[in-house]
Amino acid sequence: MMTDNTLENMLDFDHPAHLRAHKFLVEESYVLDRRDFDTWLAMMADDITYRIPVTSTLGTNPHKAGEMDHMFEDRYSLGKRIERLKSKYAWTESPPSRTRHLVSNVACFSTDNDAETRVMSALMVYRTQGADQGPDLICGMREDILRNQAGQMRLAARTVTLDQSVLQTQNLAIFL
Amino acid sequence: MENDMNEMDQILEDVRQGWIPSHIYSDAAIFDEEQKRIFSRTWQFMGHVSEVPNDGDYVVRNLLEDSFIVVRGNDTKVRVLLNLCRHRGGKVCRNESGNAQKFVCPYHAWAFKTDGSLAGVPYHQEAYGGTEGLNKKEFGLYRPPHMEIFNGLIFINLDPDAEPLESYLGDFASYLSFYVPDVPGGVEVRGPQRWRFNANWKIGSENFSGDTYHTPQTHASMGAIKLVSSAATSNRKAGVMFAAGRGNGATFRLGDGPGSFEERLGNNGFPKEQIERMRAAWPPEIVALLQQDGLLPSASTLFPNMSLLHISAKIDENDEFAPFTTIRLWMPISATETEMWSWFVVDKAASEEFKRKSYKAYIMCFGTSGMFEQDDIDAWVTLTKMTQGYVSSAVHLHSRMGMNQDGSPLNEPLEEYSGQGTAHIGFNEYNQRRWLNFWAEHLEMDPPAHPIRSGAE
């Protein structure tokens, strides 16, 4: 049975699964901000699902027609995006974005799979480019499934729920 | 800048010759004229009926600074209502979408039904003297003077004297029925993705009208990572640009001369059942365009700011292609900022598998994270920024491709072309100039009658 993401079920901060998850997130920010995308892709599980749904102001009585995503990725499409960024022709990232992935409020929950931990965290990405682009702020909540693959931590699933319904950065040529 | 009429005349004259004063892409005074003379009289896309499938479903849409509610009433009719309380101007619906039986203003609780009529006024008798003092029938939410639906696409026009949508679209209706086919059961849309960037709204509208010239350079990365076929990147010169009604667009070259409809669509990722459904739903001239001429529409713009796009991309390691269609609005926020509204469109009756693949292709290529779109918008943001300089704003940009020195055309329209309208083959800027001519025409006209000030209902 899936445990709920309630405060009572949150793992202690000295729990080994929490420590592993926190370390993973710091390592991930480190490689993303260094634009070491090959290392980042290697941190993804082969069956990764990576999603950034469009946030919409739905009110108390929503109807759910036409749900949309900003990103809806698998290992193949993440790989293609990285291949593109490494080509000479990804003009929008020339000069490359300078990003700072700030991850905080890390909360871990066990799942019904012993090898997997559900990790909630707050994300703030500060983005500038060249001398006159930005700064843009992209904020949201990550909900991750981290998998322990024989001692190696891999990201098996990520959903980033953005705070803005109208995104205020010219594109998502960066990873959140 | 000062925009007296002589200056404006000179700007429009230059634009018509393919010499574009660069400041038109960042000038607040020009944008002011565009609001009064273009967006006030052109047909504007509000959404698709599939976004409001049930009674009470609504979506809220912006047209410049005006907010509209697109809502399906309890009588199943779709209406467009101005999202402004008739009492003191409150915003009666603050969500982007939802389901409601009434829209109640948060300020003094005037309540409007989903058909726009005013249903409730607190203390109507005591405070207003009842119907004698305030006839509720006269205070429903305003509606734009015209609303029409084409293949499920909801359009409004703010000009009381507007021509009907059908005549506005003209021959472009044929292409609109390619992107949004009249299939049994209709299409469904997902979205929109909304995001803002610091570019003038005209640039995207012009680009989608027929700028295939940018593709090999701007989108070189797509060929480099083999995400799309050569028809969509390096071989764009072999395509044809069409001009039809108030629209302009481009095509991909999928074959030379007559060939198999099935094979050409099949190569672009259409499964068998979708090929048959499209053959039955597309206008005959679109079927002929693909079958006889080997051409399939790619990007188009309906003047002024609605664009459409169809393209196929590889969605997995096995080189499987999937086609997708998107509708988008370049909605100006100011002279230098645009909000993009981008929807994904798919045949409602298509298999879940096809829908998933098509959606995957869309997300990879267009929209907020789209690998095509990223580089387009980057170019337009840079252009918009560049045109703001004291020196740079006075430069005349070159939009004369396909034009001789004396202004005569470099080549004639194709004599044989199966689609509607006229067409030119190869790289040229006939369509962008045609779009800019519409733009100039509108700026020359007096602003239309105001939908409310003129007393129109």
Q: Is residue B161 part of a domain?
A: no
Q: Do B190 and A68 touch (CB under 8 A)?
A: yes
Please answer whether residues A99 and A173 qualify as being in contact, where contact means their C-beta atoms are separated by less than 8 angstroms: no
Question: Nearest Cα to B420, choosing from B172, B151, B165?
Answer: B172
pLDDT at B141: 98
Closest residue to B189, CB basis, from A66, A83, A92 = A66
pLDDT of residue B449 exceeding 60, the answer is yes
Q: Do A90 and B193 touch (CB under 8 A)?
A: no
Same domain, B136 and B234: no
Q: Which residues of B350-369 are buried (b: 16+ CB within 10 A; e: fewer)?
A: beeebbebbbbbbbbbbbbb
Please answer whether residues A141 and A123 qualify as being in contact, where contact means their C-beta atoms are separated by less than 8 angstroms: yes
Distance set, CA B147 to CA B15, B26, B58, B113, B245 (Å): 32, 31, 16, 19, 19
Strand order in the sheet with B295-302: B187-197, B337-347, B321-334, B306-314, B295-302, B247-253, B240-244, B422-425
The band of B421, judged by pLDDT with boundaries at 50, 70 and 90, is: very high
What distance in Å separates the CA atoms of residue B161 and residue B148, rounded to the nearest whole number?
14
Same domain, B232 and B139: no
pLDDT tens for B95-145 read 999 999 999 999 999 999 999 999 999 999 999 999 999 999 999 999 999
Distance set, CA A115 to CA A44, A112, A136 (Å): 15, 9, 36
Q: Is residue B29 part of a domain?
A: no
> What is the pLDDT averaged over residues B336-360?
98
What distance in Å separates the CA atoms of residue B60 and residue B212, rounded to the nearest whole number?
34
pLDDT of residue A3 exceeding 70, the answer is no
Closest residue to A59, CB basis, from B98, B193, B377 = B98
Query: How remote is the C-alpha of B153 from its chain's centroid?
Result: 11
Residue B34 CB neighbour total at 10 angstroms: 24
Give φ, ψ of B122 to 5 degrees. Answer: -55, 135
pLDDT of residue B2 exceeding 90, the answer is no
Cβ contacts of B275 within 8 Å, gap of 6 or more: B261, B262, B265, B266
Q: Do A70 and B57 touch (CB under 8 A)?
A: no
Determine which helix (DSSP H) or strand (DSSP E) holds B250, and give its type and residue range.
Answer: strand B247-253
Q: Note whether B108 contacts A: Cβ–Cβ < 8 A.
A: no
pLDDT at B247: 98
Same domain, B218 and B292: yes
The band of B231, judged by pLDDT with boundaries at 50, 70 and 90, is: confident
Question: Nearest Cα to B425, choosing from B284, B274, B166, B235?
Answer: B235
Report the chain B residue with the minimal C-alpha distance to residue A176: B369
Length of chain B: 457
Same domain, B340 and B295: yes
Q: Is residue A169 part of a domain?
A: no
pLDDT of residue A64 exceeding 80, the answer is no
Structure letter (DSSP) for residue B287? H
Residue B130 CB neighbour total at 10 angstroms: 13
How close, in Å, is residue A81 to chain B by CA atoms?
7
pLDDT at A1: 44
Q: Is residue A87 part of a domain?
A: yes
Residue listed under structure tokens 């962008």: B432
pLDDT at B391: 97
Same domain, B113 and B228: no
The band of B232, judged by pLDDT with boundaries at 50, 70 and 90, is: confident
Query: Terminus-to-terminus CA distance in chain B, angstroms?
Result: 37
Report the chain A residue with the minimal C-alpha distance to residue B216: A89
SS3 at position B257: coil
The band of B326, judged by pLDDT with boundaries at 50, 70 and 90, is: very high
Which residues does residue B96 pair with via DSSP β-bridges, in sequence order? none
How close, in Å, is residue B130 to chain A by CA atoms?
32
Structural domain that includes position B127: 46-150
Same domain, B305 and B358: yes
pLDDT tens for B12-24 read 999 999 999 999 9
Contact residues, B window 193-232, toward A, CB-based 8 Å cutoff: 193-198, 218-222, 224-225, 227
The band of A65, judged by pLDDT with boundaries at 50, 70 and 90, is: low
Q: Do B51 and A65 touch (CB under 8 A)?
A: yes
Q: What is the ipTM of this complex?
A: 0.96
**CATH number of the domain enclosing B426:** 3.90.380.10
Size of interface A-B (CB pairs under 8 A): 144
Same domain, B311 and B402: yes
> What is the pLDDT averaged over residues B363-370?
98
The band of B455, judged by pLDDT with boundaries at 50, 70 and 90, is: confident
pLDDT of residue A35 exceeding 70, the answer is yes
Contact residues, B window 309-328, toward A, CB-based 8 Å cutoff: 315-317
Length of chain A: 176
Q: What percent of chain A has pLDDT over 90?
A: 87
pLDDT at A81: 98
Please answer whether residues B192 and B342 qualify as being in contact, where contact means their C-beta atoms are separated by less than 8 angstroms: yes
Question: Nearest Cα to B105, choosing from B90, B125, B127, B122?
Answer: B90
Q: Looking at this protein, which amino acid is placed at residue B329?
A: L
Report the chain A residue with the minimal C-alpha distance to residue B50: A65
Closest residue to A70, CB basis, from B54, B221, B369 = B369
Q: Looking at this protein, which amino acid is placed at residue A2?
A: M
> What is the pLDDT averaged over residues B391-411?
95
Q: Is residue A80 part of a domain?
A: yes
Report the chain B residue with the minimal C-alpha distance to residue A86: B221
How close, in Å, is residue B222 to chain A by CA atoms?
7
> What is the pLDDT averaged over residues B308-336?
97
Q: How many helices (H) and strands (E) does chain B have?
A: 15, 20
What distance in Å separates the CA atoms of residue B32 and residue B4, rounded to the nearest whole number?
13
Chain A interface with B: residues with Cβ < 8 Å: 52, 54, 56-63, 65-73, 76-77, 80-81, 83-84, 87-92, 132, 165-173
Same domain, B78 and B140: yes
**CATH number of the domain enclosing A157:** 3.10.450.50
Distance set, CA A12 to CA A8, A21, A152, B71 (Å): 10, 12, 21, 48
**CATH number of the domain enclosing B105:** 2.102.10.10
pLDDT of residue B178 exceeding 50, the answer is yes
Same domain, B241 and B93: no
Closest residue to B317, CB basis, from A68, A76, A83 = A76
Q: Note whether B379 contacts A: Cβ–Cβ < 8 A.
A: yes
The band of B1, judged by pLDDT with boundaries at 50, 70 and 90, is: very low
Q: How many domains is chain B partitioned into structurally?
A: 2
Q: Is residue A17 part of a domain?
A: yes
The band of B294, judged by pLDDT with boundaries at 50, 70 and 90, is: very high
pLDDT at B4: 64
The band of B53, judged by pLDDT with boundaries at 50, 70 and 90, is: very high
Q: Is residue A168 part of a domain?
A: no
Q: Is residue B272 part of a domain?
A: yes
Same domain, B145 and B277: no
pLDDT tens for A123-156 read 999 999 999 898 999 999 999 999 999 999 999 9
pLDDT of residue A74 exceeding 60, the answer is yes
pLDDT of residue A56 exceeding 60, the answer is yes
pLDDT of residue B437 exceeding 80, the answer is yes
Structural domain that includes position A27: 7-53+67-162
> What is the pLDDT averaged over residues B224-233?
86
pLDDT at B121: 98
Q: What is the dihedral of CA A171, B341, B66, B149, to 10 degrees?
A: 170
Report the chain A residue with the minimal C-alpha distance to residue B52: A65
Cβ contacts of B194 within 8 Å, gap of 6 or more: A54, A165, A166, A167, B339, B340, B341, B342
Q: What is the dihedral of CA B398, B402, B408, B413, to 10 degrees?
A: -150
Q: Is residue A2 part of a domain?
A: no
Same domain, B143 and B197: no
What distance in Å separates the CA atoms of residue A55 and residue A147, rounded to the nearest whole number?
27
Q: How many domains is chain A partitioned into structurally?
A: 1
Both tokens of A142, joined, read 């990550």
Q: Do A59 and B94 touch (CB under 8 A)?
A: yes
